[in-house]
Amino acid sequence: MRRAMRSGSAWLACAAPEQAEEFLGGLSEHALLSLPWLFEFWAMPHQLPPDGDWKSWVIMGGRGAGKTRAGAEWVRAMVEGATPGAAGRCRRVALVGETFDQVREVMVHGESGILACCPPDRRPVWEAGRRRLVWPNGAVAMAYSGHESEALRGPQFDAAGWMSWPSGSAPRKAGTCCNSRCGWARIRSR
């Protein structure tokens, strides 16, 4: 959806009842069942990644701005393919928060976290002992604490997302650049 357009849900909410009925009635049963999982339809413009080829994307906003949801949906878009078993653009993703508990409770299990955003047939499994999510297609997202940025050295990631770096511990040494304290960023992709 282009940025100049408002979200599909905003259009639907403002449409005349007969327009809304025509739109929803024109969807196949499969499309109607998929609609709750199509983030581009529901997203606010600032929650969608920028157009073009970019290496970093930072969302800075207060509570309730949709940063966690935007990041969770971006991770979904990177790892999911056209079908539940199909490969996506990325196979290995780093999820980094101020603490491991923040990653687990907000980014993974939170009400706007990855598990809440994934449709049942594409929902990853949380492997607590290994601190990672594993999707049905084999993609993996590993959880890290910003206090242990050296742990990011070694594993090869296609992409990374973070939120709320603690003061002075941004992972520049680990080669992931940027010094954001709030939001998500795509660090690198294939």
Q: CA–CA separation, 15 vs 10, rounded Å?
A: 9
Same domain, 16 and 59: no
Q: CA–CA separation, 117 vs 3, rounded Å?
A: 22
Q: Integer distance in angstroms from the first to the last C-alpha of the chain?
A: 23
| Closest of 44, 16, 20 to residue 32, by C-alpha | 20
Percentage of residues in the chain having pLDDT higher than 90: 46
Q: Domain range holding 77?
A: 52-162
**Residue owning tokens 């079908």:** 83
Give every CB contact of residue 174 below 8 A, 6+ residues apart in sequence.
149, 150, 152, 153
Residue 133: pLDDT band with limits 50, 70, 90: very high
The answer to whether 94 and 145 have CB atoms below 8 angstroms apart is: no
Enter the pTM of the model.
0.81
**Residue owning tokens 């994307």:** 57
Same domain, 33 and 81: no
Give every CB contact of residue 43 below 8 A, 6+ residues apart in sequence.
1, 7, 66, 70, 73
How confident is the model at residue 156, as a pLDDT?
83
* Per-residue pLDDT tens over the stretch 49-60: 888 888 888 888
Same domain, 63 and 38: no
Same domain, 19 and 81: no
Same domain, 90 and 138: yes
What is the number of structural domains in the chain?
2
> At residue 5, does pLDDT exceed 80?
no
* Per-residue pLDDT tens over the stretch 146-157: 888 778 777 788
